[in-house]
Structure 1
Amino acid sequence: MKICVFPRLLSLSYKGCFNADSQRLYLFLSPTLRRCVLPVLHSETKSLGTQCAVVEDLCVWDPIDGQTADHFALLSDTVRSCKKLVALCCPPLNSSAWKHLSDLHTLLTVEIHGVFRPLDGNHLKFAPFLNITTLSFDLKIATGLITLLQHSEFPSLKKFEFLGRMSSWEVEHLFGVLSQCNTRRTLEHIDISLRWYTVQDPCTLIRQLFCFTQLQALYLSFCDPSVYLDNDPVYPDDNDFLLEAMTSWPHIPSLQFRDKSANRHPGVTAALPECPDWHTLCSC
C-alpha cells in the first residue's frame, strides 16, 4: 500500500534524477498539496489531481520534443485530472486537455513551452476560457496555436505573450485571430517576439492591434521592426501612423523611440491630447 509520508505537504518542487526516483513520487503526493513542480512526467502523475485534489499550481518542465503520442496523452491525462487549477505551466497539450481547461473557472494563468503540434480537428469545441487573464507561449514550432485561438474565447484576457518561430502566414494570422477571441475590451499587455523572422511591413500588422482599446503595454520584436514615422515615399500611408496608434490606445503610459529625432515628429505633438495617461517620452 502506497502511503504519503508528508500528509500536510503544501508545495513540492521535485528536482534531481527524477527518472530514478519516480517510483517514490507517491511519498510526496499529499492530499493537501497545492503547488507541484515536476521536471518530467511519469505514470505516477497520471492521477495527480485525484491524489492531490486541491492542487492549484502545476508546472511540468518535461522536454517532450519528439516524444511519442503516449507521452502527450500522459501529459493530457495529468492535466485533466486536476480540477482546481489556478496556474498551469507545461508543454503543449492536446485538444482534450484544452477542452478540460476551458471548463475550469478557477484557471487564471496558462504558460506553454515546447513544440505546439496540430490539434485534433474533430475536438475543437471549447467552452469560453472565462477567467484566464494571462496566456504565455514560448514555442519552437507554433503549429496548432492559430487553430486554438481561432476556436477559443478569452473574455477576461489581459496579457498575451508569444516567443517563438512562425511563418509569415502564421504571423499575419496571429495578429488577426487575437482580435477575434473576445479580447478587444480586456487585453492590456501584448508581447510578441519572433525568432529569425523579419516583418516587411510592420505598420500593416500593428494596425490589426488598434482594436485593443485598453492596451497599456506593447512590446514587439521582429528582428528589424522598422516603423516609419516620417514622410517616406516608400510608405506614404504611414505618415500618420503614430497619431493613429496613440488615438487607438489612449491608455498607453509611455513611448520609447530608437531614433532620437523621432520625438520631434509632428505626430507626437498631435497625439498628446489623445493620451491622458501618457507620462513618459524618451529616445535612445
Structure 2
Amino acid sequence: MPQNDKPDAKARRHEILKTVSQIARPDAYVLHEAIRLGGDEELRRHGGALFLSAFAAGLSIALSLIVPGVLKTHLPEGDWTKIITSMGYSVGFLVVVLGRQQLFTENTITPVLPLLHDRSVKTLWRVLRLWTIVLVGNLLGTLAIATLIAHSGAFEPSMQKAFAEISHDAIAHDFGATFVKAVFAGWMIALMVWFLPATGSAAPFIIMLMTWLVSLCSLAHVVAGSVESFYLVVTGAATLADYGWRFLLPTLLGNLFGGTALVAVLNYGQVAPEVEETREVEGKRPD
C-alpha cells in the first residue's frame, strides 16, 4: 500500500474505535473492523520495533509467576488459596495488554483477520513474519527473566520454593493433555482480545477475569508458561527437552488452534457476507 494511504487507514480505525465506544452494544462487524485494522497496522510495523515490544512483553509476563508466588508464600495452605493466588496471574497480562506490548497469543487473532480479509501470499507472509518475530522476542524475554528470578538473589528461598511449585504444573502433563489445555487457553485469550474494543473503561476487569480463569483452570499459555518452564530449566529441575516436548510444542499448537480456528475464523464467518459486500462496494484496495 502506498505510504499516503497509511494515515487514512489509521484515521478509519480511529473513527471505528470512536464508534465502538459510543455504542452500548456494537455489532460483530464493527468489532471485526476495529480488530482487523489494528491487525493491519501490526503487520506493517518495523521488525525491530516488534521484537523489542515482544521482548518487553516476555519480561513483563514474569509478573504472572512472581505475584502468585509471593501470594502463595504469605497465604496459609487451604482449598481456597489457589483462588487468590490465581488472581496474581492476571498482573502480567494487565501490564502487557494495557502497555500495548506484543504478546504472541494476542496475535493469533489480530493479524489473522487481515489475512482472512485478503487471502494472498503476501499477507500470509506478513502474518508468518509477525508471528516469528513476536514469538522469538517473547521466548527470549521469558528466558532472560526466568534466569534473573532464579539466580539474582532478589527473592527469598521461601519464594523460590513457591515459584518451583507453581512452575511444575507447566511440564507435569503429557503432550495430548497440554495441547487440550492450550486450546482452551488460546480460545479464552483470543475471546478477551475480541471483547476489548467494546469494553472501554472495563478493559482491566475483562483482562483480569479471563486470565484469572486461565490460571484457575490450570490452562497452558505459551508465553506465561515459558517463564515457569524456563525457571525449572535454569534451576536444574527440568531439561530443555522437557520444555520443548512437554510444554512448548503442544502449547504453541494448542494456542494457535484455539486463537485462530475457534475465535478468528468463526467470528469472521459471522461477518463474512458484510465484509464481502463492503469490498465489492469499495473495490479492492491496492496493496
Q: Determine which structure has the larger helix proportion and give its number.
A: 2
Larger of the two Rg values belongs to structure: 1
TM > 0.5: no
- TM-score normalised according to structure 1 size: 0.24
Which has the higher relative contact order, 1 or 2, with Cα contacts under 8 A spaced 6 or more apart? Answer: 2
- TM-score normalised according to structure 2 size: 0.24
